[in-house]
């Protein structure tokens, strides 16, 4: 069995890690909104956002490499969407680009820059939030901020069982490999389809057993947890400092 983590750097002791999860969630979601509502032309504001994020990442003691690596996973999706926009806009005051001389509009390029920079900064915000909070605390924080219970439960079970299911899949793959003599891609695909089916049935059966175990311990439809969160002066200080910085960046950048 592997020891896999979703939140491998959540155990570090730093100022950012010690913040109350609720404050962290509100601040970072606020940060994302602030990024989204910035005018695309105010480059200076974006630069300031980047600077603030850089400082926060440094404060969190999370390796920069890890954050950049994670951000690369999300970025392609945003870029693929954004990349086509310049070609779709009406070519008003555009340029000719590429071997076929496609018309590229300035408006379109602006939208592209807008989407690219905003999505990347937002992703960095969310990575910092999730990497600096242990997953169960993050869920509790969201639950206390009145996020629907059903979503919290689904995520909580996902966190608990995703690696169990991954382990099961790995064992099945090993069992298959030990009995595969011929190396045929087509057989592989067929076997894979069966394995996914078996995995689904097993996950379903496991869900039934888990439900029995929950009922045995008095589960009545709502998962209740207790928390040890406490909003301290440091939390309020962080929150007000971030608020001031974000408003400042907005005003300064215009």
Phi, psi of 102 (to 5 degrees): -60, 145
Q: Which residues contact 36 (CB under 8 A, 6 or more apart)?
A: 118, 122
Q: Considering the complex, what minimum distance in angstroms separates the CB of residue 164 from other proteins?
A: 5
Q: Does 172 engage in binding with other proteins (CB under 8 A)? A: no
Q: Considering the complex, what minimum distance in angstroms separates the CB of residue 160 from other proteins?
A: 6
Dihedral, 63, 67, 72, 75 alpha carbons, nearest 10: -160
Alpha carbon distances (Å) from 222 to 145, 146, 152? 16, 14, 11
Question: Exposed, middle or buried, 194 (CB in 10 Å: 0-12/13-18/19+)?
Answer: exposed
Q: Does 206 engage in binding with other proteins (CB under 8 A)? A: yes
Q: Does 131 engage in binding with other proteins (CB under 8 A)? A: no
Q: Considering the complex, what minimum distance in angstroms separates the CB of residue 4 from other proteins?
A: 8
Binding other proteins (rule: CB under 8 A), the pick from 93, 100, 220, 233 is 220
Q: Does 151 engage in binding with other proteins (CB under 8 A)? A: no
Binding other proteins (rule: CB under 8 A), the pick from 93, 183, 217, 233 is 217
Nearer to other proteins, 213 or 234 (CB): 213
Q: Does 202 engage in binding with other proteins (CB under 8 A)? A: no
Kindly state the tokens that stand for 149. Answer: 């219970």
Q: Does 160 engage in binding with other proteins (CB under 8 A)? A: yes
Nearer to other proteins, 198 or 213 (CB): 213
Per-residue mark of binding to other proteins, 51-90 (x: CB under 8 A): ----------------------------------------
Q: Does 146 engage in binding with other proteins (CB under 8 A)? A: no
Alpha carbon distances (Å) from 220 to 155, 205, 214, 217, 244? 19, 20, 9, 9, 45
Nearer to other proteins, 87 or 219 (CB): 219
Q: Considering the complex, what minimum distance in angstroms separates the CB of residue 45 from other proteins?
A: 37
Phi, psi of 24 (to 5 degrees): -65, -45
In 37-134, the DSSP E strands lie at 95-97, 102-104
Question: Exposed, middle or buried, 228 (CB in 10 Å: 0-12/13-18/19+)?
Answer: exposed
Binding other proteins (rule: CB under 8 A), the pick from 93, 209, 230, 233 is 209
**DSSP state, residue 230:** -
Residues in contact with other proteins by CB under 8 A are 3-4, 135-136, 139, 156-157, 159-161, 163-164, 206, 209-210, 212-220, 223-226
């Amino acid at each position: 069995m592997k020891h896999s983590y979703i939140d491998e750097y959540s155990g570090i002791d730093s100022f950012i890690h010690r913040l109350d999860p609720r404050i962290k969630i509100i601040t970072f979601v606020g940060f994302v909104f602030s990024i989204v509502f910035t005018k695309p032309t105010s480059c200076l504001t974006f630069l300031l956002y980047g600077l603030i994020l850089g400082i926060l990442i440094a404060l969190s003691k999370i390796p920069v490499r890890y954050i950049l690596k994670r951000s690369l996973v999300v970025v392609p999706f945003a870029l693929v969407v954004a990349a086509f926009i310049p070609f779709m806009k009406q070519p008003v005051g555009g340029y000719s680009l590429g071997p076929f001389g496609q018309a590229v509009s300035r408006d379109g390029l602006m939208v592209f820059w807008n989407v690219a920079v905003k999505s990347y900064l937002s992703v960095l915000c969310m990575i910092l939030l999730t990497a600096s909070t242990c997953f169960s605390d993050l869920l509790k924080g969201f639950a206390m901020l009145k996020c629907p219970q059903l979503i919290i439960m689904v995520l909580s079970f996902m966190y608990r069982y995703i690696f169990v299911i991954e382990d099961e899949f790995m064992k099945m793959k090993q069992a298959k490999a030990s009995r595969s003599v011929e190396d045929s891609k087509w057989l592989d695909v067929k076997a894979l389809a069966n394995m996914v089916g078996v995995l689904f049935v097993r996950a379903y059966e496991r869900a039934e057993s888990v439900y029995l175990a929950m009922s045995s311990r008095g589960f009545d439809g709502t998962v209740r947890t207790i928390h040890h969160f406490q909003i301290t002066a440091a939390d309020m200080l962080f929150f007000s400092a971030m608020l001031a910085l974000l408003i400042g960046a907005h005003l300064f950048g215009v």
